[in-house]
Each structure stands twice: as structure tokens, then as C-alpha cells.
Amino acid sequence: QAVCGYGSQDALPFRAIKEGELYFQEDREVNLVELALATNIPKGCAETAVRVHVSYLDGKGNLEPQGTVPSAVSTLTDDLLKYYQHVTRAVLGDDPQLMKVALQDLQTNSKIAALLPYFVYVVSGVKSVSHDLEQLNRLLHIARSLIQNPFLCLGSYVRSLIASVMYCALEPLAASINPLNDHWTLRDYAAMLLSRIFWCVTHGDLVSGLYHQILLSLQKVLADPVRPLCSHYGAVVGLHALGWK
């Protein structure tokens, strides 16, 4: 949260405790005599200033200095890059058996943490293939493998995955224009995946906030008479998948 105060435009400094990985805000000494005798009494709060510092974990789990470009984003190792290319080609390709093997490995591989943002980005491509049910299904399969991988900490990427899953469940997809396309099954699968996310993610506060946010989104779609039947259907199966409570 932003810190409101009088006059200071400097960010609060943080100091590290030598005995452990703990950071605390440093309290500056204030001269009360000078403060009491000061003639320039502030008339109101200064403008709120927010500064962001980001630290990244490199591919080996080491914390990189603030302000540097993370190695996981700037450059991937050759092995990770090849893995990413092979898996995406296998899942989005034409060989069902190869796709099955790739998804299984994506679900159990313990060394692909650096690739998580890349695969989440691939899943977010659902909006660009809303006309292709097959591709939408495959992207949701990638999301399921990422969610079920016990070695991946999804963290803030949960929101991106949920957004992609909700899109498949609630939006009037281009593929739904053709009555021969079974987009209902896709919506069923997206709803099931939505509930599975809450079973697999263990960050209590994050999940609690997301849960209420998703409930509101589903209720809003369900209560909107302008929305098409397929969107109402997605909201119903989504609510059902989250449980009777």
C-alpha cells in the first residue's frame, strides 16, 4: 500500500536482518525540537508516491539483484528453449499421441519453473483462436497440466489462467455461431478446470479474493438478459463446478 505522509518524496528504505531473509522498514530519527519550532507547518498531505522494486529468481533458484533483467525472461538455456518449442509444437500439432506425452511431462516435470510465464502466455492466446474449438481445448489442456504440476508455484499467474478459462466458459465464441460445433463440452471442461484451480492452489488469501471475484463475474453474466444462452450456460456450469455453497 502507498504510504501517506507530509512532505517526503523519498521511498521508505528497507533493511535486511543478517540472521535471516527478513526485511523491515528503517525508522528514521526525528528531532522533535526542530519539528515543534518549525514555522513551515504543512497544510495537507503531499502527493502519494509509489515506487516498485522487483526481484527475480533465475533458472537455478538464485535471487537476482533488483533492477536487473531476469535471466528467465531475457535468455533461456538451450535445453529449456528446446523443451518449450517441442512441447508447444506437440500440443498444438497434429499428432494426438505426441500431444498426450507432452501434456503428461508438462504436468510432472520439476525443472520448468522458468518457463511458467511462457506457457501462461500461450494459454492466454484463447482469444485469438475463439473460432477453433480444437485449439481452445488444447490450450485448456496446457492450463490443466500447469495447475496440476506440484513443482510449479503459480502465484500471480493464477489470475491469468483463470481469465483464460473464464473466457472459454462465458464468452460467445466465434465457434459457437455454427450449431454443429460442440462448444458446450468446451464450457463444461472450462468449468471443471475452474474448480480444479481452487483445489490445487493453496494461497489462502489469494484464493479467497479470487473466489469472490469469480462468483461476482458468474452472477453478473447469469443476471444479464442481453447475454446469449451459451454465456448463461457457462455461468451455470461454472457456479455448479464451484460447489453448492
List, for residues 66-115, the tens digit of each pLDDT value: 444 344 444 678 888 899 999 999 998 889 999 999 999 999 999 999 89
Give the contacts of 145 (CB within 8 A, at least 6 positions apart). Answer: 103, 104, 106, 107
Q: At what angle do helices 204-222 and 157-170 cross, to 10 degrees?
A: 20
52 pLDDT above the threshold of 60: no
Please report, rounded to a whole number, the percentage of residues in the chain having pLDDT higher than 90.
40
34 found inside a domain:
no
Across 4-8, 140-144, 183-187, least confident range: 4-8
Gap between the Cα atoms of 198 and 124, Å rounded? 19
* More reliable by pLDDT, 32 or 45: 32
86 found inside a domain:
yes
**Closest residue by Cα to residue 106 from 68, 140, 60:** 140
10 found inside a domain:
no
pLDDT of residue 62: 53
**Closest residue by Cα to residue 96 from 58, 39, 134:** 134
* More reliable by pLDDT, 212 or 19: 212
180 found inside a domain:
yes
* More reliable by pLDDT, 131 or 15: 131
129 found inside a domain:
yes
2 found inside a domain:
no
139 found inside a domain:
yes
Q: CATH number of the domain at 86, please.
A: 1.25.40.770
3 found inside a domain:
no
User: Which residue range(s) make up the domain with 95?
Assistant: 78-242
pTM for the full predicted model = 0.67
Number of folded domains that form the chain: 1
